Every structure is written in C-alpha cells, then in structure tokens.
C-alpha cells in the first residue's frame, strides 16, 4: 500500500566506478528537488544510508548550458562542496534520463565548488570528470601520520612526505612503499580528525603501488568509522600528488583499485598533466551501472 504523502520524488540508485552491479560505490540520485530544504535533503541522505546522495535541481536551458545542471551532494552527516563518485554517477544518470543536458560528449554539473564537466565515451557510461587544479597544503610529519594510520614509518614511501591536497575537498595523501601494507590500515579516527583539521585536511587517502609494468595502485579511505568503496575526489588529489613528486609521469593514466577489502571493488582511472612544476588538467574516470529506481513518498 502506498502511504499518503504530500510530495513524491523519483530516484535512481547506481553503482559508480564499476561495470558490475553491487560493486563500486553506491549512489542515490534524487530528481526534481527544487525547493527542497537542506534539512530534508540531509534526512533523505540518512534514509538511503549510502556514502552520498545527490539532489538534482533543474533550471532553464540557457543557465544549464552556461553553468551546468545544479546538483547538491550530501553524505549521511553533512553537505559536501564536491565529491567524485556523486559527480560521475549523477552525470551518468542525466545522460540516460535527461539527454538534453549533453552538449557534444559532455555534461556540466554546477556543484557548490563550481562547474565540473564530465566527458563520456561514445555509447558508453564511462565518464571522465575534469577536476579543479590542485591546491597543495601542509606537508605532514611521516612518523605522526604512520602512528595515526596504524602503520610503521618504514611502510611509508621515503620519496615524498604525506601532504594535504585539494581539488575541491582536502585529503591528506599518503603514499606507501607497497600496497601490501594497506591490509593493516587502521586509522585512529578521533585523533586523526583532530590532527587533520589542524592542517586543513578532512581525511587520509592512503595508496600503494602494485607489481607489474602497467602503472597501477591500490587505495583505501576510512572515514566516519567506516570505509569508502571509491573516493573520486581523493583520487584527483592523489594523482596530483603522484605527478608532482614524480611517482607518475605527467599525462600518464594509472589504474587505482579501491574497496577490495570491503567487498566493493572499484576501478578508477586517473591522469594529470604537469608543466614547469605546475599540475593541472586533473582527470578522474570510471564506469557507472544502474541498479534500481523508485519513488520517495514524503510527508
């Protein structure tokens, strides 16, 4: 029986950074939310209980062409100015549900952080978002970082110190000597949060290289007492850091696999350019697959 309600909203659920349903990072996308209060959006995000929920607020055609489709992003606890898998996933939903939002091969989203374009491969839901140029913040004490993430100092890379980096959301990027140490990652959330706030960061994004000739890395991001299957915003910060300090050649695409330890394997494809020591053209790509659709019945 459908409950009595004063408002009905359509939604879709997709998995992002994967081609396989029930893998990757789940996202709820809610349509037609113009006039919906921030408090109601936050309550809906808590109801879905996914890493993030996005809210599409359509505007006139000319505004959307110029500035992009207005989208707001909420975790279960707060609104974010930018997040990667919600950006990619929402653009993929719009490509299928609102093809008029596509200009050529690109959909622009107007987020709180500004306009972010997502470019799609032809006849595909593989998209690549162009993130803001990175801002490099505080370098962090490797010994203190090692303590906070539950690893030894010797397991961190000696080539560059951990550093806070932002392409819209600030993460502390920690490069390891090998991905094998990721299995032992145990972030002290209370102490880490206090430490990172003092240095302008939100969360740790920890990654290490895998064996083989193809540039590939594994990553983990633990937050809110849990773990994120895929973190597109942090991935943009990570590739910026890796290019700046010579771990990855400018323009070279790398494959990052995240979420393995929690049974939600995700595949992210990253690249960034670097000219005269300046990193730019940060690109984070991956696929999206549809999982469900339905209606919200709101009092």
What angle is formed at CA 6 by the lines to CA 101 and CA 27, rounded to 5 degrees? 45
Candidates 19, 39, 52, 64; catalytic one:
52
Give yes or no: 52 in active site: yes
- The terminus-to-terminus CA distance of the chain in angstroms comes to 15
How is residue 167 written in tokens?
């392409």
Beta-sheet pairing, 170-175 with 203-209: parallel
Task: Give the gyration radius of the chain's Cα atoms.
Answer: 19
Q: Looking at beta carbons, which pairs linking 57-65 to residues 24 or more positions away fall under 8 Å?
A: 57/33, 58/32, 58/34, 58/98, 61/100, 64/101, 64/108, 64/110, 65/103
Identify which of 241, 251, 253 has the alpha carbon closest to the alpha carbon of residue 285.
253
Q: Count how many Cα atoms sit within 13 Å of the Cα of residue 184 in the half-sphere of its side chain.
A: 13
Active centre residues (catalytic): 52
């Amino acid at each position: 029986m459908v409950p009595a309600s004063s408002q009905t909203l359509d939604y879709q659920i997709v998995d992002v950074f994967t081609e396989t349903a029930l893998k990757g990072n789940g996202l709820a996308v809610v349509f037609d939310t113009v006039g919906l209060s921030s408090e109601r959006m936050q309550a809906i995000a808590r109801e879905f209980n996914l890493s993030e929920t996005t809210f599409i607020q359509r505007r006139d055609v000319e505004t959307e062409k110029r500035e992009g489709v207005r989208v707001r992003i909420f975790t279960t606890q707060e609104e974010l100015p930018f997040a990667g898998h919600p950006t990619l996933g929402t653009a993929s939903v719009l490509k299928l549900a609102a093809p008029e939002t596509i200009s050529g091969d690109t959909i622009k989203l107007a987020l709180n952080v500004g306009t972010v374009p997502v470019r799609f491969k032809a006849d595909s839901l593989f998209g690549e978002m162009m993130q803001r140029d990175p801002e490099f913040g505080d370098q962090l004490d490797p010994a203190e970082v090692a303590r906070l993430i539950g690893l030894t100092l010797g397991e961190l890379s000696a080539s560059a110190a951990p550093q806070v980096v932002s392409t819209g959301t600030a993460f502390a990027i920690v490069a390891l000597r090998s991905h094998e140490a990721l299995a032992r990652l145990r972030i002290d959330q209370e102490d880490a949060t206090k430490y990172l706030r003092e240095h302008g960061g939100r969360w740790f994004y920890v990654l290490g290289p895998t064996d083989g000739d193809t540039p590939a890395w594994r990553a983990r991001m633990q937050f809110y007492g849990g773990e994120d299957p895929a973190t597109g915003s942090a991935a943009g910060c990570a590739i910026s850091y890796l290019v700046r300090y010579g771990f990855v050649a400018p323009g070279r695409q790398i494959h990052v696999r995240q979420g393995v330890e929690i049974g939600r394997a995700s595949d992210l494809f990253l690249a960034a350019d670097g000219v005269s020591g300046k990193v730019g053209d940060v690109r984070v790509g991956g696929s999206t697959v549809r999982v469900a659709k339905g209606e919200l019945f709101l009092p």
